[in-house]
Amino acid sequence: MTAQLPGTFMERMKELLGTEYEEFINTYKQPPYGGIRANTLKITVDELRERSPFALEPIPWCPSGFYTGEGARPGKHPYYHAGLYYIQEPSAMAPVELLGVQPGDRVLDLCAAPGGKSTQIAAKLQGEGMLVTNDLHPERTKALAKNLELYGVRNGIVLNESPERIAAAFPGFFDRILIDAPCSGEGMFRKDEDMVRQWEPGTPAKYANMQQEILKAAAAALKPGGTVVYSTCTFALEEDEEMIDEFLSGHPQFSLVPVGGTGPFAAGLGPLPGAARLWPHKVKGEGHFMAVLRHGGSEGLDREGPAAIEEAVGAGAVEAEAVKAEAGLPKALKGQADLREATLSVSSRKVAKSAFPFKAAAGRTDHGRGKGGHGSGKTGAAGGRQAPGNGEEASFKIYADFIQELLGNVPAGHPIWFGDHLYISPLPREALNGLKTIRPGWYAGQINKSGRFVPGHPLATALRPTECSRSVSLSSASGEAVSYLKGETLSIPRERLSIKEGHVSKGYTLVCIDGFSAGWGKWQDGILKNEYPPGWRWT
């Protein structure tokens, strides 16, 4: 690195590390380590290892993570654009591994942008349960939303809220919460020299105040028996061990789960040896601190919010069947009880409203047209504008008929309309009332001015070829995959299409790269019209 390390920082590290200081300081003469993590929503770890065009070395603390050699350019391969792996600093993969996420969990990632850890959590959920992912900075949520879409996350919600407001909306609701806290970034000095230049002696104390408030909010949003993982990429005691020690003193219902001193994790310093550290002179990665906190009781938690959510979900499931029957939906959809939101009757709206007693605050949902090419403007948070056309029932039937032909079934979740755009959410609309919501769920698509449903790009990236009535696989080796990613029209003979029995060849086709979904095309008479969004294209 070329930037000069701050003298105050070096003196403090010499005091912390003693005889290990010289070994530590010498790491700044070495290049940082690169890494990728397999997106197991799309590809298995073994498949990625076999298919990888560059050498991979396993990362000890992440079963799906690999070191990439110097000179490797994983961002310049079609597999990156197909969402098969996430490019991530190796040490940054550790906190989610300690969180212990299981399919079906309700997980909150409080400080999530740009989304590396969120996509890691989503892969562990395997489409079950839900992920609420959040960042306080509006601009950073754009990258967060795009990464969830690229990596095929179906059960994720993206918020742009303060931790306190999330805790107020979801008291005692989440099984697991990740706090990858904003910090002074000392552990990233080797990787990001701008952090060196921005650092001042008072920087750790400035972040410590913010971290205290985030921890308090997480404690309020966690279920009894739930787990919080708090992590930073700094060495400062006041942001790490001292922060957790103070939190535990004020929250006796929490205990520290000891992980320090096991495997690659060094013990925490001072009074918290059970906390974990990754030191750059001991592992192949940057500096990281982690503490695993377990909630052992129910003291001081308001259970009204979670009970209300459960009541509303249950009420919707019961009422949806009658509503769908009235809408005249295809028989194949009758069993989809979670389609309730798009077809709610006036009476069911009243039930849902009464089931959410907490007050909706002023908010908005950001669906402006960005890189993904979808969105329709500004609207109040989860209660936004209604569907176009003749109302929700008619609009939902247009969507359902199209999806029935394209997929053969309707994806599970709560349909939420914003103008002419449809999202499939793991939560009913009322649960998001008053929150600044960037993406309320999986973006399905929109009804255009002609009254036809146009599938969204994120719908494609989360599908498997076997789920779609028409698909085609492009080769990453021949150059045709890159041509597609650049937005070019392709000549594809009909015999290359994979078409389910009973379906025609003409129409929207899932375009795959070596068998992994990447986007949409429209096939007709040997020509595949490119539907890859302009803002996503290979440059």
CA 275-277-278 angle, 5° bins:
155
Other beta carbons less than 10 A from residue 359's beta carbon? 9
Round the CA-based radius of gyration of the chain to a whole number and report it: 24
- Rounded Cα–Cα distance for residues 320 and 533 (Å): 34
Helix (H, G, I), strand (E, B) or coil at 454: strand
Closest CA to 199 of 42, 393, 13: 13
Burial of residue 283 (number of CB atoms within 10 Å: 0-12, 13-18, 19+): buried
| The CA-based dihedral angle spanning residues 485, 487, 490, 495, taken in that order and rounded to the nearest 10 degrees | 50
CA dihedral 46, 52, 55, 57 (to 10 degrees): -30
- The answer to whether the beta carbons of residues 377 and 427 sit under 8 Å apart is no
How far is it, in rounded angstroms, from Cα 156 to Cα 355? 23
From 62, 183, 233, 512, active-site residue? 233
3-class SS string, 206-241: HHHHHHHHHHHHHHHHEEEEEEEEEEECCCCHHHCH
Q: Name the 3-class secondary structure at 364.
A: coil
Distance CA 35, CA 368 (A): 33
Helix (H) or strand (E) holding 21: helix 21-26
CA 501, CA 48: separation in Å to the nearest integer? 31
233 catalytic residue (yes or no): yes
The Cα–Cα gap between 456 and 229 comes to 34
Q: 183, 127, 167, 412: which is closest to 306 by C-alpha? A: 167
Catalytic residues, by residue number, are 233
